[in-house]
């Protein structure tokens, strides 16, 4: 555990995903989305959730109105409304922006004001003295109405670099007017850790008993580091977002800050049970925002504890701490073993254990599996994201495969018709296991033929296969395509290039991935589909419908 200031015994976590986070390009949440995200984050147990800017747009105004009416129902966090100080030359009484904050009904308001002399004079077009009055008047009004006030000192670090006395005076004006926490903001995200730590330490001393917080952006890839050094310098309030989303390159990532504080510094902020929900929350928030979760995100990414090199896996088999800095389960994640030509025998054995297969006593079998993986990867296959195909390979090599069907052949055609429509048709000839009453049985197999039509040849082939085995495997009715990816492996070969197809399939309870490779995209697709069908048919959930009991 890293050394930390013994005086730092608690940190207030402040989530601004619903305000600063939604300023990321491509994010557009509905009010229902905002309510859902707020409830998801609340499950972590963070003390403060900033819901948005009431009065700035109808969506945020409705969000706070519905929260005020009791629709949100936070169990752990306190909802915070964000807004700005009064305008230059206006009376604080009756100021619309401040009235909207009061109308929001939140017990806490986060008020933003300029702490940079440059921004006060050139952006707001006012005097330095008027800007100080704007901050003090606005805080004083909100405090007089019984609200707790946090003050976001916008552009603080840049302002301090240009004019440290004025930047400090703005913060002092907010504190003297009643702000209980002054938050130092690296709004441009250009600061580096050394400067953040030094300036924060000086401001903690300058503001005396007023709590100091930090709010930084990630334009130098230092947002998490800057947040941590600010806390080491005496700040006790840190703002960030789930998954680090935010304007430009993003905000400080709470999904990294929280486990760093809990697991590295030993501060119990959420507790083990809630910390173990971190990965789930990160993924749920991303899904609600229609973002693809970053697989390589620290702590919560699907690849955060993924191991590929055989040397690494060999050491992990002896002690998981050899190549992992924490236990993945502590943040709700899990160890993953990636199959590739870089794998060693230990990878095969441990992967087999994860699949419920004991391969450890058969060195010859493990060697054959490893050789086959390397040969297939050389041909273009990739098993890293195709666990189902790998399991079928292992079972086949071990003589454990339960082959539900065999392909005799298929034909697919695409027709461009006079009316402009493009239609694909396919025929599949398949052998299936014989059942009592079947005729024309050959060595325990029966030949079936099916025809299908679809939007494209792959879809048509899927329909043809299902038609061929119609009634024989009713379980196929539950299996559907969840994702389809195609990659050209040697683009220099043009239209004759080798193609890799990666499929994700689902039966409504589980999802699995398969791979196929061929110089023909339809053939590659069939190979991936055939593995998907075979895996789905031979790995049905146990009778109690518990997917974990499958196999």
Question: Which of 315-329, 390-404, 437-451: highest mean pLDDT?
Answer: 437-451
Task: Say if residue 348's pLDDT is above 90.
Answer: no
The predicted model gives 478-491 an average pLDDT of 84
Query: Which pair of structure tokens corresponds to residue 448?
Result: 């079936």
Query: Which pair of structure tokens corresponds to residue 177?
Result: 């007017």
What pLDDT does residue 177 have?
97
Report residue 493's pLDDT band, with 50, 70 and 90 as the boundaries.
low
Of residues 150 and 340, more confidence is placed in 150
Contact 281, 291 (CB under 8 A): no
Task: Say if residue 134's pLDDT is above 90.
Answer: yes
What pLDDT does residue 319 have?
55
CA distances from 45 to 108, 133, 147, 296, 307 (A): 17, 36, 22, 25, 31
Report residue 230's pLDDT band, with 50, 70 and 90 as the boundaries.
very high
Contact 237, 12 (CB under 8 A): yes
Rounded Cα distance between 412 and 459, Å, is 10
What pLDDT does residue 217 have?
97
284 Cβ contact partners less than 8 Å away, ≥ 6 residues apart = 40
Instruction: Say which CATH class 12-288 falls into.
Output: alpha beta
The predicted model gives 123-145 an average pLDDT of 95
What pLDDT does residue 181 have?
98
Task: Say if residue 356's pLDDT is above 90.
Answer: no
pLDDT over 90, % of the chain: 60
Three-class SS of 60-126: HHHHHHHHHCCCCCCCCCEEEEEEECCCCCCCCCCCHHHHHHHHCCCCEEEEEEECCHHHHHHHCCC
Of residues 348 and 265, more confidence is placed in 265
Q: How does pLDDT run across 163-178, given as a tens digit for each residue?
A: 999 999 999 999 999 9
CA distances from 183 to 153, 304, 446, 543, 546 (A): 6, 31, 73, 56, 48
What pLDDT does residue 543 have?
44
Of residues 391 and 490, more confidence is placed in 391
In 256-398, DSSP assigns E strands to: 306-307, 336-337
| Out of 148-152, 429-433, 475-479, least confident range | 475-479
Of residues 102 and 344, more confidence is placed in 102
Task: Say if residue 535's pLDDT is above 70.
Answer: yes
Query: Which pair of structure tokens corresponds to residue 512?
Result: 């699995």
Q: How does pLDDT run across 67-82, given as a tens digit for each residue?
A: 999 999 999 999 999 9
Q: How does pLDDT run across 7-21, given as a tens digit for each residue?
A: 788 999 999 999 999
- How far is C-alpha 252 from the chain's CA centre? 15
What pLDDT does residue 363 have?
75
Question: Which of 77-86, 293-302, 532-541: highest mean pLDDT?
Answer: 77-86
What pLDDT does residue 544 have?
47
| Out of 181-185, 200-204, 416-420, 525-529, least confident range | 416-420
Domain boundaries, the chain: 12-288, 306-378, 405-472
Rounded Cα distance between 316 and 276, Å, is 22
What pLDDT does residue 337 have?
61
Task: Say if residue 58's pLDDT is above 50.
Answer: yes
Question: Which of 208-222, 280-294, 478-492: highest mean pLDDT?
Answer: 208-222
What pLDDT does residue 9 have?
84
Instruction: Say what angle helices 278-288 and 31-42 make with each other, to 10 degrees.
Output: 180
233 Cβ contact partners less than 8 Å away, ≥ 6 residues apart = 196, 197, 198, 200, 201, 204
Report residue 542's pLDDT band, with 50, 70 and 90 as the boundaries.
very low
Contact 402, 380 (CB under 8 A): no
- Buried/exposed 338-363: b ≥16 CB within 10 Å, e otherwise: bbbbbbbbbbbbbbbeebebebbeee
Report residue 2's pLDDT band, with 50, 70 and 90 as the boundaries.
low
What pLDDT does residue 308 have?
60
The predicted model gives 37-41 an average pLDDT of 95
Report residue 495's pLDDT band, with 50, 70 and 90 as the boundaries.
low
The predicted model gives 207-228 an average pLDDT of 97
What pLDDT does residue 473 have?
86
Task: Say if residue 89's pLDDT is above 50.
Answer: yes
Residues facing residue 449 across a β-bridge? 429
Task: Say if residue 340's pLDDT is above 80.
Answer: no
What pLDDT does residue 291 have?
86
Report residue 496's pLDDT band, with 50, 70 and 90 as the boundaries.
low
Report residue 341's pLDDT band, with 50, 70 and 90 as the boundaries.
very low
What pLDDT does residue 497 have?
75
What pLDDT does residue 245 have?
96
Contact 388, 513 (CB under 8 A): yes
What pLDDT does residue 367 have?
81
What pLDDT does residue 417 have?
81
What pLDDT does residue 489 have?
77
The predicted model gives 483-496 an average pLDDT of 76
Q: How does pLDDT run across 428-446, given as a tens digit for each residue?
A: 999 998 888 888 899 989 9
Provide the mean pLDDT of the chain: 87
């Amino acid at each position: 555990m890293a050394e930390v200031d013994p005086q730092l015994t608690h940190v207030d976590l402040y989530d601004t995903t619903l305000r600063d986070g939604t300023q990321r390009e491509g994010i557009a949440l509905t009010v229902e989305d905002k309510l859902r995200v707020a409830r998801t984050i609340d499950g972590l147990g963070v003390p403060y959730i900033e819901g948005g800017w009431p009065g700035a747009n109808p969506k945020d105004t409705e969000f706070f109105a519905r929260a005020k009416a009791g629709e949100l129902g936070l169990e752990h966090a306190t909802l915070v409304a964000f807004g700005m100080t009064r305008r230059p030359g206006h009376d604080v009484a009756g100021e619309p922006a401040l009235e909207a904050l009061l109308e929001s009904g939140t017990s806490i308001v986060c008020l933003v004001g300029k702490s940079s002399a440059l921004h006060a004079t050139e952006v707001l077009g006012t005097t330095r003295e008027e800007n100080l009055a704007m901050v003090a008047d606005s805080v004083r009004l909100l405090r007089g109405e019984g609200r707790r006030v946090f003050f976001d000192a916008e552009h603080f670090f840049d302002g301090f670099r240009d004019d440290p006395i004025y930047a400090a005076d703005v913060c002092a004006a907010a504190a003297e007017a009643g702000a209980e926490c002054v938050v130092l903001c690296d709004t441009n995200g250009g600061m580096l850790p050394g400067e953040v730590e030094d300036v924060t330490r000086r401001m903690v001393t300058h503001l005396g008993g007023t709590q100091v917080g930090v709010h930084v952006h990630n334009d130098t890839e230092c947002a998490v580091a800057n947040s941590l050094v600010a806390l080491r310098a005496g700040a006790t309030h840190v703002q960030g977002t789930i998954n680090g989303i935010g304007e430009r390159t993003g905000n400080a990532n709470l999904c990294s800050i929280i486990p760093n504080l809990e697991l590295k510094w030993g501060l119990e902020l959420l507790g083990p049970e809630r910390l173990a929900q971190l990965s789930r929350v990160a993924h749920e928030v991303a899904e609600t925002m229609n973002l693809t979760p970053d697989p390589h995100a620290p702590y919560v990414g699907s690849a955060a504890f993924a191991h590929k090199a055989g040397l690494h896996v060999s050491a992990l088999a002896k002690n998981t701490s050899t190549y992992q800095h924490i236990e993945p389960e502590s943040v709700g994640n899990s160890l993953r073993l990636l199959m590739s030509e870089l794998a060693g025998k230990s990878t095969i054995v441990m992967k087999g254990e994860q699949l419920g297969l004991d391969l450890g006593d058969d060195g010859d079998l493990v060697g054959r599996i490893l050789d086959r993986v390397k040969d297939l990867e050389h041909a273009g296959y990739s098993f890293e994201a195709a666990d189902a195909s790998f399991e079928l390979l292992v079972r086949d090599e071990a003589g454990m495969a339960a082959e539900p069907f065999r392909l005799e052949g298929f034909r697919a055609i695409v027709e461009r018709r006079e009316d402009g429509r493009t239609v694909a048709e396919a025929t599949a000839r398949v052998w299936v296991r014989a059942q009592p009453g079947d005729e024309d049985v050959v060595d325990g197999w029966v030949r079936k033929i099916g025809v299908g039509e679809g939007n494209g040849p792959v879809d048509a082939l899927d329909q043809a296969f299902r038609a061929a085995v119609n009634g024989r495997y009713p379980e196929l009715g539950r299996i559907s395509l969840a994702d389809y990816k195609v990659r050209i492996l040697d683009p220099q070969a043009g239209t004759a290039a080798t193609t890799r197809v990666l499929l994700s399939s689902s039966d409504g309870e589980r999802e699995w991935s398969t791979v196929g490779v061929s110089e023909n995209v339809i053939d590659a697709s069939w190979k991936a589909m055939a593995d998907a069908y075979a895996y789905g048919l031979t790995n049905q959930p146990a009778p109690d419908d518990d997917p974990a009991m499958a196999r």
